[in-house]
Amino acid sequence: MSTLDLCQENAPDYGNLVKDGHYDDMPHGLWGKYDNVRRFWENQVSRFAVHDSVVRIKERGKRLRIADLGCGSGEGWDLLMQIPTLEASDDAKLLAPEDVAHYYGVDLCAEMIETARRRFAGTAGLEFRAGDLREPDAILNGRPPFDLYYSSYGSYSHLTDSEMLNLIEAIAAHARGPAVLVMDMLGQYSLEWPQYWGYSRDPKAPRMMPYTMTWLYPPGEQERHRDEFSDYKLRLWGGREFERFVRRIPAVAKRVSSLAITDRSIFVGRHVDTREFNPDSPPIRRGVNGLFEFNCVTRPEDLLVGSLPFCEEPEVQAFLASWRETWNRAVGIYGRLVSNDPPSPDDFGTMLKGLPQPLRQGMEALALLRFRQGWLQPGDPVANLLQPQFAMLLRQAEYHAQQGLGCSHGFVAVLELNGR
C-alpha cells in the first residue's frame, strides 16, 4: 500500500464529509462551511493578505504559474480569482483566468480532487491531482517552478514540524526564481482553546493537538459526528514562533525578501460557537453571522467579549486585552446607535474619541445611515442595512488592528523569496 493510500485510510474525515454532502453544502449564512463569517470576513481577509504579493508577481509581466497545496475542492482558485484590486471605486479583480498560465491543485483527499475536477471541467489550464504534502518531491519534481505556492484554510497545520520543514525546503529548492509562499495554519492563541496557549513553551508537550470539524455539520448533528475526529490532530502556531521557525531554515534565510503574517478571525473562530475546547467561550461567531444575515437581528449584547484567560506571552496578553476593549467599545457604541434612544450628534462624536481611525470613520458612516434610514421602511433597516455594515466594520477594524501573533482561528503567512 502506498503512502498516499495509507494517508487516505487514516484520515477519512474529509472523504466522509464529501460523501454525505456536508463538505460542499450550498452557502448557508448561520452555520456550516460557507457561513457568513467565512464568505464575507475570512475569505476577504485571506485575499487582503496576499494582495500586494500578487501585484508584485504580475509586475514581472508574465502569466502566473500557481501550485495550490491543499487545494480541497478548488477553494484556492475561488479565493485567488476574487482578490479585489483595492481601488476605492473599482469592483475589478486583481486576477482573471487568462492571467494564469497553469494552476496545479494538490490535495490528500481523493473525493475532494474528484469534486474539483467536476467543478472546473470546462476551465482551461487547471490540473488537480491527489498528493501528500508530506512527500513534496513526489508532487513537485519534474514540474517547472511556480510563481505562487499557495495554501488556504489551515493546510499547513496538518504537518508536523519536521514535515513542515521538509515541505518549505522542497519548495525553496523547486522555486529557482523569485517566488511567493502562502502558508495558512491555525493560530495557537485563539479564544477557542486557551488550554493550548502555553504548549509551545513546553518542549515536552506534544505539538499535534486534538481538533474537530464538527462545525461543518448542522448544530443538531454535531454531537453524533464528534467521534469521527477522535484521532484528528493539527499543529497550532503562534505568529512569532512560526516566523522564527521559517527564518531559521537555511534555504529560506539566504533568500527571504519579506515575511508578513495576518491574523484572521480573532474573536470569531469556528469553535467559539461549538465550545468544544473552551466551554466558557462566547458564541460570537453566531452573532456575527447574524449581523450579515438579512432579516435576522443580532442583539448587541450577544457580541460582547467577557473576561479573557491569562496568557503567559506578554505581547499576546497585551494585544488580546487591547482588542477586547476596542471590540466591546465598538459594540457598545453600535448598540446605543441602533437603540430607541440614539445619542445626539454631539454625544456621538464624544463617544468616538480615541477609537482607531478606521473604526471611527466607519462609525461616522453608520450614524449617517442610522438617521437616514427611513427610505427602507418597511424593511427592517437595522437587520438589513445597519447590521451588515457594522459586521464589515468589525472585520476591517480587526484587519487593521491585528499584529500577526496567532491570536486568531487561523492566520496567513506570506513569504517572498528572491531568486537564486
**Distance of alpha carbon 327 from alpha carbon 267, whole angstroms:** 9
**Distance of alpha carbon 269 from alpha carbon 103, whole angstroms:** 29
- The three cell numbers of residue 415 are 513569504
Average pLDDT of span 398-405: 97
Q: Is the pLDDT of residue 286 over 70?
A: yes
* pLDDT for 390: 97
Per residue in 101-129, pLDDT (tens digit) is 999 999 999 999 999 999 999 899 999 99
Work out the angle at residue 285's Cα, subtended by the Cα atoms of residues 330 and 87, and round it to the nearest 5 degrees.
Answer: 65
Question: What are the CA-CA distances from residue 335 to residues 217, 222, 303, 327, 374 (Å)?
Answer: 31, 32, 10, 12, 19
Closest-CA residue to 155 (of 227, 105, 217): 105
* pLDDT for 350: 93
Q: Is the pLDDT of residue 339 over 50?
A: yes
* pLDDT for 20: 60
Its pTM stands at 0.91
**Distance of alpha carbon 77 from alpha carbon 52, whole angstroms:** 17
Average pLDDT of span 204-224: 86
Contact 126, 103 (CB under 8 A): yes
Average pLDDT of span 359-380: 86
* pLDDT for 8: 46
Q: Is the pLDDT of residue 12 over 80?
A: no
Q: What is the total residue count of the chain?
A: 420
* pLDDT for 90: 67
Would residue 87 be called left, alpha or beta, if left means φ above 0 and alpha means ψ between -120 and 50 degrees? beta
Other beta carbons within 10 angstroms of residue 401's beta carbon come to 17
Please list, in sequence order, all residues whose beta carbon lies within 8 angstroms of the beta carbon of residue 30, skipping any fewer than 6 positions away: 36, 286, 289, 290, 293, 296
Work out the angle at residue 404's Cα, subtended by the Cα atoms of residues 403 and 409, and round it to the nearest 5 degrees.
Answer: 115
Per residue in 32-44, pLDDT (tens digit) is 889 999 999 999 9
Please list, in sequence order, all residues whose beta carbon lies within 8 angstroms of the beta carbon of residue 58, skipping any fewer than 6 positions away: 64, 94, 95, 99
Question: What are the CA-CA distances from residue 234 to residues 156, 207, 212, 229 (Å)?
Answer: 9, 8, 9, 11
Work out the angle at residue 361's Cα, subtended by the Cα atoms of residues 79 and 86, and round it to the nearest 5 degrees.
Answer: 30
Question: What are the CA-CA distances from residue 403 to residues 181, 215, 235, 295 (Å)?
Answer: 19, 27, 20, 34
With H, G, I as helix, E, B as strand and everything else as coil, classify residue 154: coil
**Residue 382 DSSP label:** I
User: Considering the chain, what is the average pLDDT of its residues?
Assistant: 91
* pLDDT for 14: 62
**Distance of alpha carbon 299 from alpha carbon 287, whole angstroms:** 8
* pLDDT for 133: 97
With H, G, I as helix, E, B as strand and everything else as coil, classify residue 67: strand
Pairing of strands 179-187, 233-237: parallel
Pairing of strands 100-107, 64-69: parallel
**Residue 40 DSSP label:** I
